[in-house]
Structures are given as C-alpha cells and as structure tokens.
C-alpha cells in the first residue's frame, strides 16, 4: 500500500507497506480539533488530489475519519445513523466523507475511535492525562465518554478489512468499550500509584461512543481480540508499559 503521511498512524502502518498494492492510505489529515482553517483547507485539497489520482490509477482510497462526529441527540453511534457533528472537527471530517462518497472513487472510510500507542503526539488524551495526574491536578469533563483502541489492534483490523476487500463502506474502528473519562483517570492513577486533585471544567460533556456491530459483522475475528468491557484498562496498561517506567502498585 501507499501511505501518504508521516505522523503517528502512518508510522505504525509501515509494516503493511508491502501489502495491498491497490490501496492508497491517506494518513496526513487534520489531527485534532481547534486548528486554523488553513489546516482544514490543506486536508480538503489533499483529499481532492488523492481522489483524482486514485480514479486515474484505479486504486482504493482509505480515508481516516473520526468517531467524534457521534454524540448528537438520539445518535446510537452507527454508521447509518443520521449524523449531526457536535464539533467543527467532526463536521470537517463528515464533509470530506461526503466528497469521497460522491466522487465515484473506490474507497474505505474508517471512523476511528481514540487510537492509543507509543509515539503519539503529546497533546492527545492519554499523554495529557498522564502529565496532569503526575503534576497532581487533572481536568475532568463530567459525563464525557471515550472508546479507545490500541494502535497495533487498529493496524490488525485495517489489514483484515483490506484482506476482506471491503469497499465503498463506512466502518467504525473501535473496541466497543466506551467508558466515562473518570474511569480512565482512576485507572491511570492506580497504575501510577498517585491520586490527583480533580478540576472540573465547564465544557459541555460529549460522549463519542461508536457502535462496533458492523465491524464485528464484517470481520468476525475481532471477537477474539479481547475487546469489550475492560479493554480500556488493557490499552492503558500497554501504553504505560511501552512508553516508560511505571510504578508498580497493588490493589
């Protein structure tokens, strides 16, 4: 496969470089919320350019969208739900999904949950929470929920979807273990052996909880990957063990 990009996900996809030669993976998009319009325009131009090349070369475009577009009233996090993104970032990704679907290019759109692993940007959720907890004070957005997926599991799932020749579909790629942010904080505290002061933030709480029913239907073997209740602890454990020494504690 051809991988466009050099960031966190692109680097972890490198082991698949020799597989799926008919595929172009666009892994150079806007990485997070609250970036300037110029970054959105850059990604939109890159999507348009890549669509045209894939059409000419008859290749499949893989686009990384976001599960953060879920969370609106009545939304069950299913790929065929009516989506009303609650953030500018989610709306941007949804607009690009529409461009791809209407272009006629063969594609696979993956709505990713929070992908966690070594080498990720420090501004992302878990590295930020770890820094805050170690500092003694952590910001809590009450009611927020997140589904997280360890990066090596993400790579395996994507490989399986491409092996199965899944085309012209939108698929949530997630663990199905969508938990309150407070549970995530408590587990990090347990593993680090510290307790941080809670600082409640006034932002509206958002639950980005994608359904994994379609993923399990398309790739039944994901049921053997340890997903489901408690997976977030497994993902955090792997992250902490791979990114540095962790103080051993006992319940």
pLDDT of residue 250: 38
Which CATH superfamily does the domain covering 2-243 fall into? NAD(P)-binding Rossmann-like Domain (3.40.50.720)
According to the model, what pLDDT value does residue 205 have?
A: 55
Asked if residues 201 and 116 have their Cβ atoms less than 8 Å apart, the reply is: no
pTM of the predicted structure, to 2 decimals: 0.92
Write down the pLDDT at residue 249.
42
Tens of each residue's pLDDT in the chain, 251 residues: 999 999 999 999 999 999 999 999 999 876 666 667 788 889 999 999 999 999 999 999 999 999 988 877 777 899 998 888 878 888 899 999 999 999 999 999 999 999 999 988 888 889 999 999 999 999 998 888 999 999 999 999 999 999 999 999 999 999 999 999 999 999 999 999 999 999 988 665 567 899 999 999 999 999 889 998 999 999 999 999 998 754 444 33
The confidence score (pLDDT) of residue 190 equals 95
Q: What is the reported pLDDT for 218? A: 97
């Amino acid at each position: 496969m051809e991988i466009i990009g050099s960031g966190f996900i692109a680097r972890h996809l490198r082991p698949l470089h020799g597989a799926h030669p008919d595929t172009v993976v666009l892994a150079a998009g806007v990485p997070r919320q609250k970036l300037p319009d110029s970054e959105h325009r850059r990604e939109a131009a890159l999507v348009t350019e890549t669509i045209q090349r894939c059409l000419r070369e008859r290749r499949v475009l893989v686009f990384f969208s976001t599960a953060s577009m879920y969370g609106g009233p009545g939304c069950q996090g299913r790929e065929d739900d009516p989506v009303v993104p609650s953030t500018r970032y989610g709306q941007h990704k949804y607009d690009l999904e529409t461009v791809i679907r209407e272009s006629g290019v063969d594609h696979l759109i993956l709505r990713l949950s929070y992908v966690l692993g070594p080498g990720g940007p420090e501004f992302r959720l878990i590295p930020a929470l770890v820094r805050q907890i170690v500092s003694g004070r952590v910001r809590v957005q009450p009611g927020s929920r997140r589904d997280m997926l360890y990066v090596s599991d993400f790579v395996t799932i994507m490989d399986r979807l491409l092996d199965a020749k899944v085309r012209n579909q939108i698929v949530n790629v997630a663990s199905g273990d969508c938990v309150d942010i407070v549970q995530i904080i408590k587990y990090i505290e347990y593993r680090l052996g510290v307790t941080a002061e809670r600082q409640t933030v006034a932002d509206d709480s958002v639950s980005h909880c994608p359904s994994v029913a379609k993923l399990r239907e398309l790739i039944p073997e994901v049921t053997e990957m340890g997903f489901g209740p408690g997976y977030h602890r497994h993902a955090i454990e792997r992250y902490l063990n791979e990114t540095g020494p962790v103080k051993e504690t006992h319940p």
